[in-house]
Amino acid sequence: MTPAIELRATRRAFGDVVALDSVSLAIAPGEFFALLGPSGSGKTTCLRLIAGFDQPDSGTILLDGEDVTNSPPFARNVNTVFQDYALFPHMTVAENVAYGPRVRGVATADRSRQAHEMLELVRLGEFGARRPHQLSGGQRQRVALARALINRPKVLLLDEPLGALDLKLREEMQAELKGLQQRLGITFVFVTHDQGEALSMADRVAVFSQGRIEQLDTPRELYNRPQTAFVASFVGSANVVERAAAQRLTGNAQAFAIRPELIELLAAGERAPDGCVHCSGEVIDVLYHGASSRLRVLVDERTTLAVARAETVGGGGSGPAAGATVRLAWRPDHAVPLQD
Protein backbone atom coordinates (compact mmCIF):
# COMPACT_ATOMS: atom_id res chain seq x y z
CA MET A 1 0.00 0.00 0.00
CA THR A 2 1.30 3.47 -0.86
CA PRO A 3 2.13 5.36 2.34
CA ALA A 4 0.09 8.52 2.95
CA ILE A 5 3.32 10.34 3.77
CA GLU A 6 6.86 9.32 3.07
CA LEU A 7 10.05 11.15 3.95
CA ARG A 8 13.24 9.92 2.30
CA ALA A 9 16.57 11.01 3.79
CA THR A 10 15.13 14.45 4.52
CA ARG A 11 17.58 16.97 5.89
CA ARG A 12 17.04 20.56 6.99
CA ALA A 13 19.61 22.81 8.62
CA PHE A 14 19.28 26.38 9.85
CA GLY A 15 22.78 27.82 9.68
CA ASP A 16 24.96 25.52 11.77
CA VAL A 17 22.02 23.91 13.52
CA VAL A 18 20.87 20.68 11.91
CA ALA A 19 17.15 20.59 12.71
CA LEU A 20 16.46 17.40 10.82
CA ASP A 21 19.27 15.01 9.97
CA SER A 22 18.53 12.62 7.13
CA VAL A 23 15.18 11.43 8.47
CA SER A 24 13.24 8.71 6.67
CA LEU A 25 9.80 7.55 7.68
CA ALA A 26 6.60 6.25 6.16
CA ILE A 27 3.12 6.85 7.56
CA ALA A 28 0.31 4.53 6.47
CA PRO A 29 -3.09 5.84 5.32
CA GLY A 30 -5.54 6.14 8.21
CA GLU A 31 -2.81 5.99 10.80
CA PHE A 32 -2.76 8.17 13.94
CA PHE A 33 0.91 9.06 14.06
CA ALA A 34 2.80 11.03 16.69
CA LEU A 35 6.06 12.93 16.36
CA LEU A 36 7.31 13.01 19.94
CA GLY A 37 10.36 14.77 21.28
CA PRO A 38 11.64 17.61 23.43
CA SER A 39 11.79 21.14 21.99
CA GLY A 40 14.50 21.51 19.37
CA SER A 41 14.43 17.81 18.51
CA GLY A 42 13.23 18.36 14.93
CA LYS A 43 9.63 17.20 15.27
CA THR A 44 8.10 20.58 14.38
CA THR A 45 10.52 21.05 11.46
CA CYS A 46 9.36 17.67 10.22
CA LEU A 47 5.71 18.76 10.39
CA ARG A 48 6.43 22.07 8.63
CA LEU A 49 8.18 20.22 5.81
CA ILE A 50 5.16 17.95 5.36
CA ALA A 51 2.82 20.96 5.34
CA GLY A 52 5.04 22.80 2.87
CA PHE A 53 5.84 25.85 5.04
CA ASP A 54 9.51 24.99 4.63
CA GLN A 55 11.58 23.11 2.08
CA PRO A 56 14.24 20.49 2.91
CA ASP A 57 17.88 21.07 1.96
CA SER A 58 17.98 17.54 0.58
CA GLY A 59 15.76 14.48 0.48
CA THR A 60 12.29 13.82 -0.84
CA ILE A 61 8.78 14.19 0.57
CA LEU A 62 6.00 12.13 -0.96
CA LEU A 63 2.29 12.52 -0.29
CA ASP A 64 0.29 9.53 -1.45
CA GLY A 65 3.22 8.49 -3.65
CA GLU A 66 3.50 11.90 -5.31
CA ASP A 67 6.67 13.98 -4.95
CA VAL A 68 5.67 17.26 -3.28
CA THR A 69 9.12 18.27 -2.02
CA ASN A 70 8.95 21.66 -3.69
CA SER A 71 5.18 22.19 -3.92
CA PRO A 72 3.73 25.21 -2.10
CA PRO A 73 1.34 24.56 0.83
CA PHE A 74 -1.78 25.47 -1.18
CA ALA A 75 -1.01 22.72 -3.71
CA ARG A 76 -0.85 19.94 -1.09
CA ASN A 77 -3.83 17.92 0.04
CA VAL A 78 -2.80 18.38 3.65
CA ASN A 79 -4.30 20.64 6.29
CA THR A 80 -2.90 21.87 9.54
CA VAL A 81 -4.23 22.68 13.00
CA PHE A 82 -1.82 25.28 14.32
CA GLN A 83 -0.49 25.45 17.82
CA ASP A 84 -1.95 28.96 18.29
CA TYR A 85 -4.95 27.86 16.15
CA ALA A 86 -4.24 30.76 13.71
CA LEU A 87 -7.94 31.65 13.38
CA PHE A 88 -8.55 34.74 11.27
CA PRO A 89 -9.56 37.44 13.78
CA HIS A 90 -11.46 39.53 11.23
CA MET A 91 -13.79 36.70 10.23
CA THR A 92 -16.62 34.99 12.07
CA VAL A 93 -16.27 31.39 13.15
CA ALA A 94 -18.37 30.24 10.18
CA GLU A 95 -16.29 32.35 7.76
CA ASN A 96 -13.13 30.85 9.22
CA VAL A 97 -14.41 27.34 8.67
CA ALA A 98 -15.64 28.17 5.16
CA TYR A 99 -12.29 29.68 4.18
CA GLY A 100 -10.93 26.58 2.44
CA PRO A 101 -13.96 26.14 0.14
CA ARG A 102 -14.07 29.91 -0.41
CA VAL A 103 -10.54 30.14 -1.82
CA ARG A 104 -11.25 27.06 -3.90
CA GLY A 105 -14.20 28.82 -5.49
CA VAL A 106 -17.11 26.92 -3.90
CA ALA A 107 -20.40 28.86 -4.15
CA THR A 108 -21.49 30.83 -1.08
CA ALA A 109 -24.56 28.71 -0.27
CA ASP A 110 -22.65 25.44 -0.60
CA ARG A 111 -19.75 26.51 1.52
CA SER A 112 -21.84 27.93 4.32
CA ARG A 113 -23.77 24.64 4.43
CA GLN A 114 -20.49 22.71 4.56
CA ALA A 115 -19.18 25.02 7.28
CA HIS A 116 -22.30 24.44 9.31
CA GLU A 117 -21.90 20.67 8.97
CA MET A 118 -18.29 20.86 10.12
CA LEU A 119 -19.25 23.04 13.09
CA GLU A 120 -21.92 20.48 14.00
CA LEU A 121 -19.27 17.78 13.80
CA VAL A 122 -17.17 19.55 16.43
CA ARG A 123 -20.32 20.45 18.44
CA LEU A 124 -20.14 24.18 17.81
CA GLY A 125 -23.28 24.43 15.67
CA GLU A 126 -24.57 27.60 17.35
CA PHE A 127 -21.28 29.48 17.38
CA GLY A 128 -21.00 30.27 13.66
CA ALA A 129 -21.79 33.97 14.00
CA ARG A 130 -19.26 34.65 16.76
CA ARG A 131 -15.76 35.99 16.40
CA PRO A 132 -12.81 33.79 17.43
CA HIS A 133 -11.93 36.07 20.37
CA GLN A 134 -15.36 35.40 21.87
CA LEU A 135 -14.61 31.69 22.24
CA SER A 136 -12.73 29.73 24.90
CA GLY A 137 -9.44 27.99 24.15
CA GLY A 138 -11.09 24.60 23.75
CA GLN A 139 -13.74 26.03 21.41
CA ARG A 140 -11.11 27.76 19.29
CA GLN A 141 -9.26 24.51 19.01
CA ARG A 142 -12.40 22.82 17.70
CA VAL A 143 -12.95 25.64 15.19
CA ALA A 144 -9.38 25.16 13.97
CA LEU A 145 -10.13 21.45 13.59
CA ALA A 146 -13.33 22.10 11.66
CA ARG A 147 -11.57 24.60 9.41
CA ALA A 148 -8.80 22.11 8.63
CA LEU A 149 -11.17 19.17 8.08
CA ILE A 150 -13.63 20.94 5.77
CA ASN A 151 -11.27 20.43 2.81
CA ARG A 152 -11.42 16.65 3.38
CA PRO A 153 -7.62 16.42 3.43
CA LYS A 154 -5.82 13.10 3.01
CA VAL A 155 -3.69 14.05 5.97
CA LEU A 156 -4.38 16.28 8.96
CA LEU A 157 -1.35 17.76 10.69
CA LEU A 158 -1.67 18.91 14.29
CA ASP A 159 1.04 21.03 15.88
CA GLU A 160 0.95 20.60 19.68
CA PRO A 161 -2.85 20.50 19.40
CA LEU A 162 -3.52 20.30 23.14
CA GLY A 163 -0.60 22.38 24.36
CA ALA A 164 -2.62 25.47 25.22
CA LEU A 165 -5.44 23.68 27.04
CA ASP A 166 -5.80 22.92 30.73
CA LEU A 167 -5.50 19.37 32.00
CA LYS A 168 -9.17 18.40 32.12
CA LEU A 169 -9.91 19.82 28.67
CA ARG A 170 -6.81 18.14 27.35
CA GLU A 171 -8.02 14.72 28.44
CA GLU A 172 -11.44 15.34 26.88
CA MET A 173 -9.86 16.50 23.63
CA GLN A 174 -7.59 13.45 23.50
CA ALA A 175 -10.62 11.18 23.44
CA GLU A 176 -12.42 13.49 21.02
CA LEU A 177 -9.51 13.64 18.57
CA LYS A 178 -9.09 9.87 18.67
CA GLY A 179 -12.81 9.36 18.04
CA LEU A 180 -12.85 11.90 15.22
CA GLN A 181 -9.88 10.27 13.53
CA GLN A 182 -11.50 6.85 13.68
CA ARG A 183 -14.80 8.14 12.29
CA LEU A 184 -13.23 10.09 9.41
CA GLY A 185 -10.47 7.59 8.58
CA ILE A 186 -8.08 10.46 7.81
CA THR A 187 -4.37 10.12 8.53
CA PHE A 188 -3.55 12.25 11.58
CA VAL A 189 0.01 13.33 12.26
CA PHE A 190 0.55 15.25 15.45
CA VAL A 191 3.52 16.85 17.10
CA THR A 192 3.81 16.75 20.87
CA HIS A 193 6.38 16.94 23.63
CA ASP A 194 4.03 15.15 26.03
CA GLN A 195 4.76 11.42 26.04
CA GLY A 196 1.46 10.66 27.79
CA GLU A 197 -0.43 12.32 24.94
CA ALA A 198 1.58 10.41 22.32
CA LEU A 199 1.12 7.06 24.05
CA SER A 200 -2.60 7.45 24.64
CA MET A 201 -3.61 8.68 21.17
CA ALA A 202 -1.16 7.42 18.56
CA ASP A 203 -1.05 4.12 16.69
CA ARG A 204 2.67 4.64 16.19
CA VAL A 205 5.13 7.11 17.63
CA ALA A 206 8.39 8.44 16.20
CA VAL A 207 10.62 9.63 19.04
CA PHE A 208 12.86 12.50 17.93
CA SER A 209 16.10 13.60 19.49
CA GLN A 210 18.63 16.02 18.03
CA GLY A 211 17.20 15.89 14.54
CA ARG A 212 17.04 12.11 14.31
CA ILE A 213 14.41 9.47 14.94
CA GLU A 214 15.57 7.52 17.98
CA GLN A 215 12.88 4.90 17.72
CA LEU A 216 9.70 4.40 15.72
CA ASP A 217 7.26 1.97 17.28
CA THR A 218 3.84 1.35 18.71
CA PRO A 219 3.24 2.94 22.12
CA ARG A 220 3.36 -0.48 23.82
CA GLU A 221 6.71 -1.39 22.27
CA LEU A 222 8.14 2.05 23.02
CA TYR A 223 7.11 1.83 26.62
CA ASN A 224 8.08 -1.78 27.22
CA ARG A 225 11.02 -2.17 24.83
CA PRO A 226 12.85 1.17 24.57
CA GLN A 227 15.95 0.73 22.44
CA THR A 228 18.00 3.69 23.58
CA ALA A 229 18.65 5.43 26.88
CA PHE A 230 16.93 8.56 25.52
CA VAL A 231 13.70 6.74 24.68
CA ALA A 232 13.75 4.86 27.98
CA SER A 233 14.02 8.03 30.05
CA PHE A 234 11.87 10.31 27.85
CA VAL A 235 8.99 7.92 27.19
CA GLY A 236 8.68 5.79 30.30
CA SER A 237 10.61 7.88 32.83
CA ALA A 238 12.54 4.62 33.25
CA ASN A 239 15.79 4.29 35.15
CA VAL A 240 18.70 4.20 32.76
CA VAL A 241 21.71 2.30 34.04
CA GLU A 242 24.89 3.00 32.11
CA ARG A 243 27.46 0.31 31.27
CA ALA A 244 29.82 0.99 34.15
CA ALA A 245 27.04 1.06 36.74
CA ALA A 246 25.50 -2.06 35.20
CA GLN A 247 28.84 -3.83 35.59
CA ARG A 248 28.87 -2.99 39.29
CA LEU A 249 25.21 -3.86 39.90
CA THR A 250 24.78 -6.99 37.78
CA GLY A 251 28.30 -8.04 36.85
CA ASN A 252 27.40 -7.56 33.20
CA ALA A 253 28.64 -4.50 31.23
CA GLN A 254 25.39 -4.00 29.32
CA ALA A 255 23.47 -0.73 29.72
CA PHE A 256 19.83 -1.33 30.54
CA ALA A 257 16.59 0.39 31.50
CA ILE A 258 14.31 -0.62 34.32
CA ARG A 259 10.98 1.04 35.06
CA PRO A 260 10.36 2.27 38.62
CA GLU A 261 7.23 0.15 39.10
CA LEU A 262 9.13 -3.06 38.22
CA ILE A 263 11.67 -2.65 41.01
CA GLU A 264 10.59 -4.40 44.15
CA LEU A 265 11.25 -2.84 47.52
CA LEU A 266 12.20 -5.55 50.02
CA ALA A 267 11.52 -5.43 53.72
CA ALA A 268 14.60 -5.44 55.93
CA GLY A 269 16.01 -8.97 56.07
CA GLU A 270 13.62 -10.21 53.37
CA ARG A 271 15.29 -12.56 50.89
CA ALA A 272 15.24 -11.56 47.21
CA PRO A 273 13.13 -13.96 45.09
CA ASP A 274 15.11 -16.59 43.20
CA GLY A 275 16.92 -15.40 40.10
CA CYS A 276 16.36 -11.71 40.87
CA VAL A 277 19.03 -9.07 40.61
CA HIS A 278 19.30 -7.30 43.93
CA CYS A 279 21.23 -4.54 45.58
CA SER A 280 20.94 -2.26 48.56
CA GLY A 281 20.98 1.51 48.87
CA GLU A 282 19.98 4.55 50.83
CA VAL A 283 16.68 6.40 50.30
CA ILE A 284 17.37 10.01 49.23
CA ASP A 285 13.81 11.27 49.19
CA VAL A 286 10.21 10.13 48.97
CA LEU A 287 7.50 11.84 46.87
CA TYR A 288 3.91 10.94 47.65
CA HIS A 289 1.70 10.75 44.53
CA GLY A 290 -1.54 9.40 46.02
CA ALA A 291 -1.88 5.97 44.47
CA SER A 292 1.84 5.44 44.75
CA SER A 293 4.98 6.98 46.16
CA ARG A 294 8.20 7.49 44.29
CA LEU A 295 11.47 6.88 46.11
CA ARG A 296 14.92 7.78 44.90
CA VAL A 297 17.46 5.32 46.13
CA LEU A 298 21.23 5.80 45.92
CA VAL A 299 22.58 2.35 45.08
CA ASP A 300 26.21 3.23 44.57
CA GLU A 301 28.03 6.52 44.77
CA ARG A 302 26.86 7.69 41.33
CA THR A 303 23.71 5.75 40.53
CA THR A 304 20.24 6.53 41.81
CA LEU A 305 17.25 4.42 40.95
CA ALA A 306 13.65 5.62 41.10
CA VAL A 307 11.36 3.09 42.71
CA ALA A 308 7.56 3.23 42.68
CA ARG A 309 5.87 1.87 45.76
CA ALA A 310 2.14 1.21 45.69
CA GLU A 311 0.39 2.91 48.59
CA THR A 312 -1.92 0.80 50.70
CA VAL A 313 -5.64 1.55 50.73
CA GLY A 314 -6.53 4.04 53.45
CA GLY A 315 -3.04 5.48 53.55
CA GLY A 316 -1.74 3.26 56.40
CA GLY A 317 1.94 2.21 56.70
CA SER A 318 4.19 5.00 55.56
CA GLY A 319 7.07 2.85 54.22
CA PRO A 320 10.75 3.74 54.35
CA ALA A 321 11.68 7.38 54.93
CA ALA A 322 14.57 9.39 53.62
CA GLY A 323 17.87 8.11 55.02
CA ALA A 324 16.66 4.54 55.49
CA THR A 325 18.64 1.67 54.04
CA VAL A 326 16.58 -0.51 51.73
CA ARG A 327 17.06 -3.52 49.52
CA LEU A 328 15.91 -3.54 45.89
CA ALA A 329 15.30 -6.45 43.54
CA TRP A 330 14.11 -6.89 39.98
CA ARG A 331 13.71 -9.72 37.53
CA PRO A 332 16.47 -9.77 34.91
CA ASP A 333 13.92 -10.06 32.08
CA HIS A 334 12.33 -6.76 33.22
CA ALA A 335 15.59 -4.96 32.54
CA VAL A 336 15.55 -3.80 28.91
CA PRO A 337 18.99 -3.85 27.28
CA LEU A 338 19.82 -0.56 25.57
CA GLN A 339 21.97 0.26 22.55
CA ASP A 340 24.93 2.43 23.42
Partner 1 sequence: MPSRPGFSLQGRRSFYFALLLAPPLLWLGIVYLGSLFTLLLQSFYAIDEFTARIVPEFTLATYRQLLTQPAHVDIILRTLLMAVAVTIAAAVIAFPVALYMARYAGPRMKALFYVGVMLPMWTSYLVKVYAWRLILAKQGIASWGLAHLGLMGALDKVLEVPVVGGPSLASSYLGMFVVFVYMWLPFMILPLAAALERVPASLLQASADLGARPGQTFRNVVLPLALPGLAAGSIFTFSLTLGDFIIPSVVGAPGYFIGMMVYQQQGTAGNLPLAAAFSVVPIVLIGLYLMLARRLGAFDAL
The torsion defined by the Cα of 8, 9, 11 and 17, in degrees rounded to 10, comes to 140
**For partner 1, which residue of 12, 140, 147, 204 counts as binding (CB under 8 A)?**
147
Among 42, 52, 128, 219, binds partner 1 (CB under 8 A): 52
Smallest separation (angstroms) from partner 1 to the CB of 46: 16
- Interface residue with partner 1, options 80, 209, 293, 303 (CB under 8 A): 80
Neighbours of 107 (CB within 10 A): 10
End-to-end CA distance of the chain: 34
Min dist. Cβ of residue 25 to partner 1 (A): 21
Size (the chain), residues: 340
Give min distance, CB of 79 to partner 1, in A: 6
Binding residue for partner 1 (CB under 8 A) from 1, 15, 39, 74? 74
> Using CA atoms, how far apart are residues 340 and 145, in angstroms rounded to an integer?
41
User: Is residue 148 a contact point for partner 1 (CB under 8 A)?
Assistant: yes
Tell whether residue 164 is a contact of partner 1 (CB under 8 A). Answer: no
Stretch touching partner 1 by CB under 8 A, among 83-91, 111-119, 162-170, 176-184: 83-91
170 exposure class (CB count in 10 Å sphere: 0-12, 13-18, 19+): middle
Q: Does 10 bind partner 1 (CB under 8 A)?
A: no
**CB atoms near residue 75 (< 10 Å):** 10
Contact region for partner 1 (CB under 8 A) — 33-41, 69-77, 160-168, 319-327? 69-77
- Contact residue for partner 1 among 38, 65, 70, 104 (CB under 8 A): 104
| 53 contacts partner 1 (rule: CB under 8 A) | yes
The reply on whether position 279 binds partner 1 by CB under 8 A is no
One-letter identity of residue 318: S
Residue type, 59: G
Stretch that binds partner 1, among 96-104, 239-247, 267-275, 329-337 (CB under 8 A): 96-104
| Distance in angstroms (rounded) separating the CA atoms of residues 249 and 304 | 12
Cα separation, 34 vs 40, in Å, equals 16
**Half-sphere exposure of 181 toward its Cβ, with a 13 Å CA cutoff?**
22
- Interface with partner 1 includes 241 (CB under 8 A)? no
Burial class (CB in 10 A: 0-12, 13-18, 19+), 314: exposed
State the residues that interact with partner 1 by CB under 8 A.
Answer: 51-53, 72-74, 78-80, 82-84, 86-90, 99-100, 102-104, 147-148, 151
